[in-house]
Amino acid sequence: MGKHEKGTPKEIANRSKSKGLQKLKFYCEMCQKQCRDANGFKCHLTSEAHQRQLLLFAENSNQYLKEYSNEFRSTFLKILRTCHGTKRVRANEVYQEYIREKNHVHMNSTVWHTLTGFINWLGKEGICHVDLTEKGWYIAYIDKEAEMRKEDLVKKAKAEKDDEDRMKGLIDAQIARAKEQQGDVEEYQPTDLLRNEDDDKVAFSLGSKKPTAEDLKKPTAALIEASGSVFDRLKKDSKEGIKKEPREDRKRSRSRSRDRHESKRYRDDRDRPSTSSRGRDEGKKKSALDEIKEMEERKREKQNRKDFWMTPGIMVKVTTKKLGADYYKAKGEVRKMVDEYTANVKLDDGTLVKLDQEHVETVIPSIGREMLIVNGAYRGARAILEAIHEKSFEVELSINEGHLKGRKVRVPYEDASKLA
């Protein structure tokens, strides 16, 4: 029977039926095919494609049941967590939201035959709080992420405390070592105040009364004597100080003269450019072209440095043992790039293998052979191998094409490879 014409009532009805859910008993989970009636489902069961799927299921039935069960559980819990959170809700409501999706995994293809069995399993595993009422099963999701966040905060606080204690211990150890290096240092300990006689009186001598204006005008003998004694004391101190001052003055004068000399020399040195700075300035003037070249090379390096380097036409060496001992360290030519990191490599014995760039390395030929720079500033340039620097793991190349022809560069081993 042919299909109905587009736009007819029958065609519109069939299209609307195909969009919505249909009878579950006419759905084949293995083939993911929905039949509309018993006749169509019977024809599908006798088809060759369905029989092949049944053979695959019979070989490893537990694996298929496990996959379908995990997918059903994860999708069901995702709807429960995102739509209802930790609220208490009827399990049947969540299930109705789940089967609203047309391409969902049906429960008859999982290890749980009924919704009740699945809800009881969630309660036993501690994933949800479940309880049975007159209206049916109710579930509430247990948010373990909040508990995990709390545990992480506790662990972080404990780690910070341990770090503080460790630092304190290190500081104490450093203090102890410093004390040992200084030797025996007398430590002063606080002592109690001891009074020998409790009956002793504490006396304060207050100053004499304030002299009046008349007393100040009348010079007394005591004042004259005191004034005279002050001048005599000054003369005496000046005579005694003359003997001590020369040596100290000489020391201070020498130090001041030395300081003046050093400050003058510092000013002269600061004002007069040094020979080393003049040499550097002259060197900079002479190497201006080199600086321009370095700037261009840094710019070119930034533009051409990539995290992938394989390209057709180069030789590579296998560094993985996954292909077998016979192909370990075997060399081959990159024939075709599958993507930026994977290529088809034809080995020396004619075997064509698909390899990732992590499983191969570049090939360094003998001096005088042609190489291709595969990464870095001169990526894509052909060059001749001039020398091999084993200590620095670099090769010296002479570019032999383009506007850079004749330029000699040094690149790491992994940035250049032999051409096929």
The per-residue DSSP string of 3-31 comes to PPPTTSHHHHHHHHHHHS---GGGEETTT
Q: Is 355 exposed, middle or buried (CB count within 10 Å of its CB: 0-12, 13-18, 19+)?
A: buried
Q: Which token pair is 288?
A: 């201006």
pLDDT tier at 202, thresholds 50, 70, 90: low
| Per-residue pLDDT tens digits for 236-264 | 555 555 444 445 444 444 444 455 444 44
Nearest to 415 by CA among 386, 376, 381, 382: 376
Instruction: Calculate mean pLDDT across residues 286-294.
Output: 74
Count of C-beta atoms within a 10 Å radius of residue 105: 22
State the distance between the two ends of the chain, measured CA to CA, in whole angstroms.
62
Looking at residue 314, the DSSP 8-state letter turns out to be B
| Per-residue pLDDT tens digits for 342-358 | 999 999 888 888 899 99
Q: How many helices (H) and strands (E) does the chain have?
A: 11, 15
Q: Which of 96-100, 260-264, 298-302, 409-413 is predicted most confidently?
A: 409-413
203-230 per-residue burial string, b: 16 or more CB within 10 A, e: under 16: eeeeeeeeeeeeeeeeeeeeeeeeeeee
pLDDT score, position 361:
94
Helix spans in 287-417 (H): 288-304
Instruction: Calculate mean pLDDT across residues 154-169.
Output: 84
Concatenated DSSP letters of 66-123: HHHHHHHHHHHHHHIIIIITT--EEHHHHHHHHHTSTTPPPGGGSS-SSHHHHHHHHH
Q: Which of 44-58, 193-207, 305-319 is predicted most confidently?
A: 305-319
pLDDT score, position 206:
63
Q: Which token pair is 396?
A: 């010296």
Distance, in Å, from the CA atom of 166 to the CA atom of 163, rounded to the nearest integer, reads 5
Instruction: Calculate mean pLDDT across residues 178-200.
Output: 67
Residue 387 pLDDT more than 50? yes
Say if CB 33 and CB 27 are below 8 A apart.
yes
Concatenated DSSP letters of 209-278: PPP-HHHHHS--HHHHHHHHHHHHHHHHHHHHHHHHHHHHHHHHHHHHHHHHHHHHHHHHHHHSPPHHHH
pLDDT tier at 273, thresholds 50, 70, 90: very low
pLDDT tier at 25, thresholds 50, 70, 90: confident
> What CATH class is the domain 303-418?
mainly beta
Share of the chain above pLDDT 90, in %: 26
As a whole number, the mean pLDDT across the chain is 78
The domain 18-144 having CATH identifier 1.10.10.2030: the answer here is yes
pLDDT score, position 313:
92
Mean pLDDT is lowest, of 186-190, 326-330, 374-378, for: 186-190
- Name every residue whose Cβ is closer than 8 Å to that of residue 397 and which is 6 or more positions away in sequence: 371, 373, 383, 384, 385, 386, 408, 409, 410, 411, 416
Residue 132 pLDDT more than 80? yes
Residue 234 pLDDT more than 60? no
pLDDT score, position 322:
84
Using alpha carbons only, give the angle 224, 229, 231 rounded to the nearest 5 degrees. 100
pLDDT tier at 365, thresholds 50, 70, 90: very high
Q: Which token pair is 16?
A: 């609307």
- Name every residue whose Cβ is closer than 8 Å to that of residue 340 and which is 6 or more positions away in sequence: 308
Share of the chain above pLDDT 70, in %: 73
Of the two residues 145 and 396, the one the predictor is more confident about is 396
Distance, in Å, from the CA atom of 371 to the CA atom of 418, rounded to the nearest integer, reads 4
Residue 332 pLDDT more than 90? yes
Domain boundaries, the chain: 18-144, 303-418
Looking at residue 60, the DSSP 8-state letter turns out to be S
Distance, in Å, from the CA atom of 307 to the CA atom of 357, rounded to the nearest integer, reads 10
Residue 164 pLDDT more than 80? yes
Distance, in Å, from the CA atom of 142 to the CA atom of 88, rounded to the nearest integer, reads 10
Distance, in Å, from the CA atom of 338 to the CA atom of 342, rounded to the nearest integer, reads 5
Instruction: Calculate mean pLDDT across residues 2-14.
Output: 74
Instruction: Calculate mean pLDDT across residues 165-172.
Output: 86
Say if CB 346 and CB 299 are below 8 A apart.
no
pTM strictly above 0.85: no
pLDDT tier at 388, thresholds 50, 70, 90: very high
